[in-house]
Amino acid sequence: MTSARTVVFDLDGTLVDTAPDLISALNYVLDREGLPPVPLHSARAMIGAGARRLIERGLEVDGRAVALEDLTRLTGDFIDHYAAHIADASRPFEGLEAALDELAARGYRLAVCTNKLEWLSKLLLDRLGLSARFSAICGADTFGISKPDPAILRQTVARAGGEISATVMVGDAGPDIGVARRAGVPVIGVEFGYTEVPIAELKPDLLIGHMNQLSAAVESLMLAPK
């Protein structure tokens, strides 16, 4: 096995169950605007396109839209509150650390490619004691591009010291499947994340329902004929 083989992960809904703290921050912003809170169970599907889009979706629930300058203000308020509470209730999905250990033992490089801001991603992973496991942690602001633009995945792999031809993507939603397809990378979908469209309908190469299935799924895709 070459050490350039790389597994790239989405963050929210794939590595970490961040919904409780994200929706808490959303509801903080909505409450300040005099709007009712969004229930956690129904808001999980809103996550994944970044803070600004999450706020827009939260406003849409109540049929509200705001001017661009107000959306910018709300996004700033959201990020300030979220950063202060980023790991209050967010936790790695069950079995994650054992799965990462297994991949590392097999010689894989690990990286994060998320539409979250890079500094928030690093802050979260630092608080959870996970940052050191990843050769690169890249967000929507790292290269100025977001998923599903394939350039963000290619540049994340390059920063991790990997090769795009020996990479597997792991994610929970449309942007992850899209970025992998556009970059020509096989993709594993996780069934426990956040998505408006059921992950199976997005047709990833493989689906897993628990992190204990991850290593075998990665090996299967890496060994498959290209």
- What are the residue numbers of the active site? 10
Contacts of 223 (CB under 8 A, 6+ apart): none
CA–CA distance, 2 with 210 (Å, rounded to integer) = 26
CA–CA distance, 127 with 23 (Å, rounded to integer) = 19
Distances (CA, A) of 100 to 88, 125, 135, 152: 23, 14, 12, 22
Contacts of 62 (CB under 8 A, 6+ apart): 30, 35, 36
Contacts of 156 (CB under 8 A, 6+ apart): 8, 111, 112, 113, 136, 138, 142
* Residue reference for tokens 């963050």: 11
